[in-house]
Amino acid sequence: MPKLKKIELSKSFRPIDVSFFKEGDTITFDCYVQRFYGFVIVIEAGTVIAQKHLKILQNGARHYVVCTEYEEYLQIRSHAQTTQVKSITKKELKNDVLACYETTDAKLDVLYRSAIEEMEKFFEEDKKIDQEYLEELLYNYILLFKKDASVFRLIMNTMSREDRHAVHAVNVALLSLALGNFFNYTLSQMKFLALAAVLHDIGEKEVDGGIYAKSAPLSHAELEQIQTHPSHSYYLALEMGIANRAILDAIKSHHEFVDGSGYPEGLRGQRISDFTQIITVSDIFEGMSSKRTYRNKKSALQTLKTIKTEFKNKLRPKIVEGLIRLFQESYAL
């Protein structure tokens, strides 16, 4: 073990989850634990994990990384989640297997992977969505939000930023739930919001996939084709047996703007509900802050600033300010 190096206590350290490391992995950042009024390195960057290191990582102490290396940690953790995290089956969910996971991080990882896999079956494998299973996965998120709103920050750390329909659908659902909880939505309202948000773009399956992969500007015809997806989403939701008007309206109208410049119907003002606008704002935020073939992703702060300025007359101020306050309270921006 390297010589312990004492570092004075400061705000430049962030807690991390090291449970995903396994024997043979290489830690590419210094790993710290707190000792009295300072921090000490317990495993140095470049260390190849052996059994003795796993014992250190599993000793119950909270581990930290310097803030400047936090993004690197998140990338490694995201890769580990993709390759290691198993999804939870419908039967396991009903048998409350989720309760066996000791940490909130672990529960979030399993829920996220499971929800994405369910949506991938629809987008990639042409299978029907198991609505009951998907709703149960999202309901577990709702319970976590209601128990502790600070879970939002953990959820944001869990999110992938990949340019995939399934990832976008689940991310928008989670952002919408965070906003719904911020506005004190009831459990029933949150359940409706989650379902509307996760299904909002299912109609994209009916659009030529090559359009979404283009890095060059779209032609007028291609733009028109993309603008049909909310209506496709609406009819696919009807085929699934969804009859709730708030859910259907939100799915169909998530690209409508209060100034009337949106689509497919050019709705304006009070004809667009707050319920719908929550999904619209979440959709815009997720799109801007994730990887896309036609542009680079923005940071959360850049995205919030862009939404506030460029969409000033298009989005309901109450919802935009709610999203900004949510991030301010969660990240002390």
User: 230-240, pLDDT tens digit by residue?
Assistant: 999 999 999 99
The confidence score (pLDDT) of residue 160 equals 85
How far, CA to CA in Å, does 318 sit from each of 142, 265, 323?
22, 23, 9
Give residue 72's pLDDT band: very low, low, confident or very high (50, 70, 90): confident
For the segment 39-45, the average pLDDT, to the nearest whole number, is 89
The model carries a pTM of: 0.75
- Whether residue 286 contacts residue 172, with contact meaning beta carbons closer than 8 Å, is answered with yes
- Whether residue 41 contacts residue 31, with contact meaning beta carbons closer than 8 Å, is answered with yes
Average pLDDT, the chain: 88
The confidence score (pLDDT) of residue 84 equals 54
The confidence score (pLDDT) of residue 78 equals 65
Give residue 82's pLDDT band: very low, low, confident or very high (50, 70, 90): low
d(CA 67, CA 94): 39
3 pLDDT exceeds 60?
no
- Whether residue 45 contacts residue 29, with contact meaning beta carbons closer than 8 Å, is answered with yes
d(CA 198, CA 138): 9
> Residue 43: which H helix or E strand, with range?
strand 38-43
Task: Output the CA angle 273-116-307, nearest 5 degrees.
Answer: 40
The confidence score (pLDDT) of residue 8 equals 45
d(CA 57, CA 52): 9
Give the CATH fold of the 90-331 domain: Hypothetical protein af1432 (1.10.3210)
- Whether residue 105 contacts residue 150, with contact meaning beta carbons closer than 8 Å, is answered with no
The confidence score (pLDDT) of residue 290 equals 85
Q: Tens digits of per-residue pLDDT, 44-56?
A: 999 998 888 888 8
Place of tokens 């969660």: 330
Domain ranges of the chain: 6-84, 90-331
The confidence score (pLDDT) of residue 261 equals 97
d(CA 127, CA 26): 38
* 63-77, 86-100, 261-275: least confident range: 63-77
- From its phi and psi, is residue 13 left (phi > 0), alpha (psi between -120 and 50) or beta? beta
